[in-house]
Amino acid sequence: MSPTAIRELITSLEDVETQLGLIPNGDDAFFAEAFPTIDAIADSDRSSLDQLRDRFLYHWRSGKVDEGIVNLLVISPLLELAGFYDPPFRMRAEVPVTVESQVEGTTLRGRIDFLVIHQRFWRAIIESKDTTYDVSMALPQTLAYMAGTVQNNLPLYGVVTNGSHFLFLKVQKQDEQVFYGLSDEFALRSRPNALYSVLSILRQLAHIIADSSTVTNPPST
């Protein structure tokens, strides 16, 4: 499905379910990977994450933080701390997708920029030119892309963020049915620092993807 088709045809979770056939799964066991283990975050990591949050909030207080700054201040450092910049992971960019929303009769336009890591983890940043979009605005298009690449019994993961809020996604095909699950929403301004939870989940996903990659693509002898 092309980006244009996704933008025009898939605009809500209802569309995801009725047009693409995805089935919501709210069972904790389905997306157990989205429950953080904050105790495993080292003190040195906490210091780094506190610095990331403080930097972002410093810029956020002065107005809208655009996609490039979100990437620079928060996303890239998080992916590095989680190990996504090192083997076995590889990255490829996806074309951005334009989204629209109606607020008080005014059409607001934003953009979702995708990055695919090792074909198993999708990072989506949503950026608005006029106001700050809720992260849920990016869910339909992100799930649509993920559903188009899912393989049988092999879960796909994603994270959607607007810089200040993070939401994780899981899509998995089981017995010819495709299920999806959502994590809790993590807000950067919450206490304790929500980035502790975000990094914990990212690392869990990195381990799962790396381990499954080793199984499905064993080293040659």
pTM for the model: 0.84
Predicted pLDDT at 111: 59
Q: What's the pLDDT tens digit per position in 26-73?
A: 999 999 999 999 998 999 999 999 999 999 999 888 877 777 788 888
Question: 109-133: per-residue pLDDT in tens?
Answer: 555 676 778 888 888 766 544 335 6
Residue 127, C-beta contacts closer than 8 angstroms, at least 6 positions apart: 66, 67, 70, 110, 111, 112, 113, 133, 162
DSSP state of 71: I
Pairing of strands 22-24, 97-103: unpaired
Q: Measure the CA–CA gap between 166 and 131, rounded to whole angstroms.
A: 17
Q: How far apart are CA 169 and CA 142, in angstroms?
A: 9
User: Would you give the distance in Å from CA 101 to the centre of its chain?
Assistant: 20
Q: Is 105's pLDDT higher than 60?
A: no
Quickly state the pLDDT bin for 103 (edges 50, 70, 90). very low
CA angle 209, 17, 186 (to 5 degrees): 50
Q: What is the DSSP letter of 72?
A: I
Considering just the CA atoms, what is the radius of gyration of the chain in Å? Answer: 17
d(CA 48, CA 54): 10
